[in-house]
Amino acid sequence: MKAFVVDKYNKNGALRLAEMPEPDLQDNDVLIEIHAAAVNPLDSKIKSGEFKLILPYRMPLILGHDVAGTIVRIGPKVRKFKAGDNVYARPRDGRIGTFAEFIAVDEADVALKPRNLSMEEAASLPLVGLTAWQTLVESANLKKGQKVFIQAGSGGVGAIAIQLAKHLGATVATTAGAANFDLVKSLGADIVVDYRKQDFEKILTGYDVVLNSQDAKTLAKSVHVLKPGGKLISISGPPDPEFAKQRRLNVMLKLVLRFLSRGIRAKARRLGITYSFHFMWAQGNQLSKITSLVESGTIRPVVDRVFPFEAANEALAYVEEGRAKGKVVIKVR
């Protein structure tokens, strides 16, 4: 099968289009013929080696974390799906590889594709949808009447998180450039701060939850938005000791992550708030709940551009520019 692979960690290196063996099917796997795959900043970070200590992949590595396609074969222990099912998924860490013609995915990570979406639209959702669900529903336990600040509302995660937060009954504030105000308001944002002209920490106050997806400077400012007892959840780092524990990292890495996060954790303690780092995980049951919200019209995908399969490097470069509205998708088939 054709696939785009990373031969060695390199921030500026291109993916190589290669002929790779069709993946082996384990007992609980489904083999998906890939129709579309989304591109995420995580792909770029893995390619450059930023996560090599936490996610030590073997080379050559097929890149890609989002998939939509059709099941063509199932393992002997698969019970939830059958050949011919249209599905989507975020394959679990260690088994990524959606920039290809086929992928084998554990059935626990898979959900039926929303019937009202195209393959390209469906492929845009798993990683960002699960990130929004796990941070706002699982970690934050966001409730009706609470206030949440979701940074970068026109980005991949932000666009879905805004819609989910409104569904949960929260008041939503976000940041965006003036050109994207109409988009984030159409998604449900109640308050929009122009990050080019305004300081959000001087405008927003008394918030219950902040979903941070930006740099360390923005993270440091975010603590001032929260009220005592509030929750600061970051998907962009720094990782904290609890994350190291969950990933069962070695002692040295645990010490490194403790050191890297000590400043923000100490600042949060002084202000009476909690800080946590979230690295999303594959979860088919949660993705099925997102499917229901999509089919009911509660959540809609936001797709900026669709690139042909042969242009995977151009798609990745476009994502690396950081200007995409919503998600960028590769049409494989």
> Tens digit of pLDDT for each residue in 180-222?
999 999 999 999 999 999 999 999 999 999 999 999 999 999 9
The rounded distance, in Å, linking the Cα atoms of 97 and 259 is 32
> Residue 177 pLDDT > 90, yes or no?
yes
Check whether residue 142 and residue 120 sit in a common domain.
Answer: no
> Residue 90 pLDDT > 90, yes or no?
yes
Does 29 fall in a domain? yes
Does 228 fall in a domain? yes
What is the signed CA dihedral for 53, 56, 59, 64, rounded to 10 degrees?
A: -100
Residue 331 pLDDT grade (very low, low, confident, very high; cuts 50, 70, 90): very high
Check whether residue 149 and residue 220 sit in a common domain.
Answer: yes
Does 16 fall in a domain? yes
Single-letter amino acid code for the residue at 239: P
Alpha carbon separation from 118 to 15, 35, 59, 115, 295 (Å, rounded): 26, 10, 32, 8, 12
Check whether residue 110 and residue 189 sit in a common domain.
Answer: no
Identify any residues that bridge with 207 across adjacent strands, giving them in sequence order: 226
CATH at residue 9: 3.90.180.10
Number of domains in the chain: 2
**314-325 average pLDDT score:** 95
Check whether residue 109 and residue 132 sit in a common domain.
Answer: no
Amino acid 323: pLDDT: 87
Check whether residue 141 and residue 264 sit in a common domain.
Answer: yes
Amino acid 214: pLDDT: 96
CATH at residue 173: 3.40.50.720
Check whether residue 249 and residue 267 sit in a common domain.
Answer: yes
Burial class (CB in 10 A: 0-12, 13-18, 19+), 236: middle
Check whether residue 181 and residue 248 sit in a common domain.
Answer: yes
Return mean pLDDT, the chain.
97
Check whether residue 64 and residue 137 sit in a common domain.
Answer: no
Check whether residue 250 and residue 318 sit in a common domain.
Answer: no
Does 296 fall in a domain? no
Does 108 fall in a domain? yes
| pLDDT tens-digit series, residues 236-276 | 999 999 999 988 889 999 999 999 999 999 999 999 999 99
Check whether residue 308 and residue 271 sit in a common domain.
Answer: no
Amino acid 164: pLDDT: 98
Does 286 fall in a domain? no
Does 161 fall in a domain? yes
> Residue 53 pLDDT > 90, yes or no?
no
Could you tell me the sign of the dihedral formed by the alpha carbons of 107, 108, 112, 117, in that order? negative
| pLDDT tens-digit series, residues 273-317 | 999 999 999 999 999 999 999 999 999 999 999 999 999 999 999
**121-126 average pLDDT score:** 98
Check whether residue 55 and residue 155 sit in a common domain.
Answer: no
Check whether residue 141 and residue 244 sit in a common domain.
Answer: yes
Structural domain including 246 reads 127-277
Question: Three-class SS of residue 211?
Answer: strand
Alpha carbon separation from 141 to 54, 184, 219, 291, 314 (Å, rounded): 27, 23, 21, 20, 38
Residue 90 near residue 66 (C-beta atoms within 8 A): yes
